[in-house]
Structure 1
C-alpha cells in the first residue's frame, strides 16, 4: 500500500525541514518526501498547496467510557480526535468505574485497538480516585498504559504524591497531577476575581493551583523523579515551572487551548460553556500561558477534552459540570490565538502538538515525518477561515466555549499508519 499526498508544504519540527513537494507513505510508514512524482501509488491525494504535518498527540483527554457513554464513548471520542488531526490520545482514568486496575485497562485497550486513532491510557494513582489507597503500579506494567494520575481530582496528600513519583520512576510511568488545592477550590464556579465579584460568586483563587504546583515541583526536586503538571493556567504557576526547570527539576507541563485563548470574561457571555477546572483566568494569566508555550516552559498543548451532555451543563453556573470539548478546535485555536498573535511560529505550534508530546510519552515513532517512522499525518489548510458550529462535531457532546467564533486553520485529512481515517468534506466558507 503506497499513498502520495502531492503538492504540499512539508514541515517536520524535529529536523526543521520545510519544503514543497510530495509526501510518500508506504506500508504504514513514512517513505520520504520528494519533488518527483511516483506513478505506482495505490492512493494519490491532491494537497493543493496545503501543509502536511505530523499527526497531533494529545496527552490529556476524557472519553467517559465506561459509565458516561451519554457524554462520549471511545468510538465517538476517536472520531472527534481524528477530525481534529489527532492520531494519538491519552485517556484519563476518571470513568465509572475508574481505571484503577490492570484488567479494566486491558479491556479498554482491546476496544480501542479497533478504532481510528491510537489510544493510550493512564491508570489511577489511588483506588477509585478517592485519594486514600495508592494502587500498586505493578498492575499497570504493560504496553498501552503510559502513566498515572487522579485527574479530575488532585492528589492532595503529599505522602501519596511522593510515593507515586518514586513508583512511577520505578515502572517507567509518567506521573501527572491536577494541580489544585481542594481546600481552596470553594464553589468551583470560576476564577476568583473581578468577574466572580460581579456575578456574586466566590470562585477559585489562582493560589489553589500555585500552592499545588509549588509542592509538586519541590517533591520532584527532592526525590529526583519526574512530574507532569496538567492544564497550567496562572502566571505564577508558569514562573514557578520556569524557575524549577532552570534549577534542573525534571518537570513537564501542559496548557489547554481555552487557557491560552480565553479569559474569565468569557463566563459572562458563555456561561457554563466556559466553566472548567482549573477555570479561565485573568488576561495576564492567559498571556503568561502563551509566553510559557513560546519559551518552552510549558511543553505541550493538551485539550483536556471533557465532554458533557446539555443537561449536565444547564444554565446554573454553580451546579453545571466542569469541562469543555476541545479536540476539534485545538489546532485552529492555536493558529488563531498563538500564530496570528505573533506568539508562536507554525514550527513551534507543531512542536507543542506533535513532537514534544511524543517525547514526553516516549513515542519515538510518532510526532515526526522522518523516513521510516509511523505514517501518522495530518493535512491542514492554513488559509481556511471557519466558524465553530458544534452541531457538526464528531464528538457526542457540544460543550465548547468557542461556539460561533471565527477561527483560522482547518484539518482537511488525517492518516494513521498510512490509512486515511478522516476526510473533511465541508466546503470553505
Structure 2
C-alpha cells in the first residue's frame, strides 16, 4: 500500500518549495514525483517536516503511571509532531542493570513513536556508584543520564566520563549541585523575595557545569548538558567549544519563552527544575541557540497529576508538560515574528538531535529514509486546551494561549500515529 501526502510545502534542497511525498512500505519513495497512490491525503498547503526528535522526556512507566504511561506519553509526543523521543530513567524500578533495562525496552515497544531509552549513570540514580556501562550499552541504551538529579561526587563523575569515553557513549548531565540550591523552588531574585519562597541561585548549575567541563576535557567524553538555563552556563559552554571540548547542550521551550517575571503568584504551573531564570538569562538562552552555542531544543516533558500541581510552589513537584505544545509555541513566538528562520526551528527540533546523538532508523525526509513525517498548520490559530491533550498531565503555564503551527498529521514508518480530527 502506498500513501501520498499531497499539496504540502517543505524545506528541501536549501529552500522552501511545494512538496508531494510518496510513501511505500514505510519509507519515502519519492519527493514531488508522484501524482497518485493507494491513499492520498491533501495537506492543503500545510508544512511538511521530518518527524521531530525530542531527546528529553519523562514517560513515568513503570512506577508513576498515575502521572503518565508509555502509551499516553508517546501519544502526546505524536500529537506534537515528534516521531522519536528519548525517555529518561527516573523510574521505579530504575533500569540500572541489563535485566531491568531489557524489560524497559520491551515496555517501550508499546509506544506510538520510536522510543530511545536512557540508562542511568549511577545505581538507583543515587550518585554514589557507577552502573555497568558496557552491559547497559549492549542492552540497548542510547545514552546515559541521572536526569532529575545532579552528580555531586566528582570521583564518580570522573570515572563515569572515563568509561563512557572508552565506550563512545554520551553522558547527558542534569547539572546541579544540590549543596548550592538552598532548597529553592524558583529562581533566586526579586520574584522569590516578593513571594516569600526560597530561591535557587544560578551558581548551583554553573559551578557543576564548570567542574564537568574540566573533567570532560581530561577524558574526551561527549558531555551533553541537559536543559541549560543561565547566562553563565552558556558562556562557559561557548568557551569550552572554542577550546575543542566535546560538549553539546539543549534548551527547553519554557526557558526560551518564560522568565521569573512571569510568576506573579503562588502558581506551581511555573515550577520546574532548573527554574525559570531572569529575563537576562532567558535572552542569553535565545542568543546561545542562535549563535550555535546551544545545539538543540528538547522539551523536558514532565507530567504530574492535577492534584500534585495544586499544592503550590513549596510543595508541588518540579516540571511541566511540553510535547504537545513545543513546536506551535516556538513557531508563534519566534518564527512568525521574524526572529528565527523556519528552517532553523526545524533543524533544532529534528536534524540536530539525529546528528549529535548519531540516531539510526530515524527519518529525515529523504528518499529511502523511514517515513517519519510531521505536518503542521501554520495558517490557522488554535488555543492551547488541556482538554485536548493526549498526555495524562495538564501541568502547563501555556494553557489558553493562542498559537499557530499545531500538528495536523504525524507518521512513524509511514503509519499514521496522530491525525487531527
Q: What band does the TM-score fall into relative to the shorter chain?
A: over 0.9
SS at match of 2:197: coil
Q: Deviations over 1:92-120 (max 9, x none)?
A: 01111212112222112112223210001
What residue is the counterpart of 1:253 in the other structure?
Answer: 249
- Whether 1:308 aligns to 2:304 is yes
Shift of 1:273: 0.5
What residue is the counterpart of 1:62 in the other structure?
Answer: 58
- Whether 1:342 aligns to 2:338 is yes
Structure 2 Cα separation of the partners of residues 181 and 91 of structure 1 = 23
What residue is the counterpart of 2:35 in the other structure?
Answer: 38
Shift of 1:143: 6.0
Q: In 2 relative to 1, CA 129–169 (structure 1 residues): closer, same or farther, beyond 3 Å? A: same
Maintained 8 Å contact 2:28/2:367: yes
TM-score, normalising length: structure 2 = 0.97
Q: In 2 relative to 1, CA 217–95 (structure 1 residues): closer, same or farther, beyond 3 Å? A: same
Shift of 1:257: 0.6
Structure 1 Cα separation of the partners of residues 382 and 79 of structure 2 = 15
Q: Deviations over 1:363-401 (max 9, x none)?
A: 244251111111100011112221111121000110011
Structure 2 Cα separation of the partners of residues 422 and 123 of structure 1 = 28
Q: Deviations over 1:12-57 (max 9, x none)?
A: 4xx53431131111111111211x5433x22211010111000001
What residue is the counterpart of 2:27 in the other structure?
Answer: 29
Structure 2 Cα separation of the partners of residues 138 and 169 of structure 1 = 11
User: Which segments of 5 or more consecutive residues in structure 2 lack a partner in the other structure?
Assistant: none
Structure 1 Cα separation of the partners of residues 397 and 410 of structure 2 = 24
What residue is the counterpart of 2:16 in the other structure?
Answer: 18
What residue is the counterpart of 2:351 in the other structure?
Answer: 355
Structure 2 Cα separation of the partners of residues 139 and 406 of structure 1 = 47
Structure 2 Cα separation of the partners of residues 97 and 124 of structure 1 = 11
Structure 2 Cα separation of the partners of residues 367 and 355 of structure 1 = 9
Maintained 8 Å contact 1:56/1:367: no
SS at match of 2:380: strand
User: Which segments of 5 or more consecutive residues in structure 1 lack a partner in the other structure?
Assistant: none
Q: In 2 relative to 1, CA 43–157 (structure 1 residues): closer, same or farther, beyond 3 Å? A: same
1:149-168 alignment to 2 at 5 Å?
Answer: 149-168=145-164
Structure 1 Cα separation of the partners of residues 71 and 220 of structure 2 = 39
Maintained 8 Å contact 2:122/2:128: yes
Shift of 1:266: 2.5
Q: Larger deviation: 50-59 or 284-293?
A: 284-293
Structure 1 Cα separation of the partners of residues 394 and 23 of structure 2 = 34
Maintained 8 Å contact 2:187/2:276: yes
What residue is the counterpart of 1:200 in the other structure?
Answer: 196
1:67-146 alignment to 2 at 5 Å?
Answer: 67-142=63-138, 144-146=140-142
Shift of 1:224: 1.7
Structure 2 Cα separation of the partners of residues 343 and 365 of structure 1 = 32
What residue is the counterpart of 2:260 in the other structure?
Answer: 264
SS at match of 1:292: helix
Maintained 8 Å contact 2:249/2:296: yes
Q: Deviations over 1:399-425 (max 9, x none)?
A: 011111122211100000111110011
SS at match of 1:397: coil
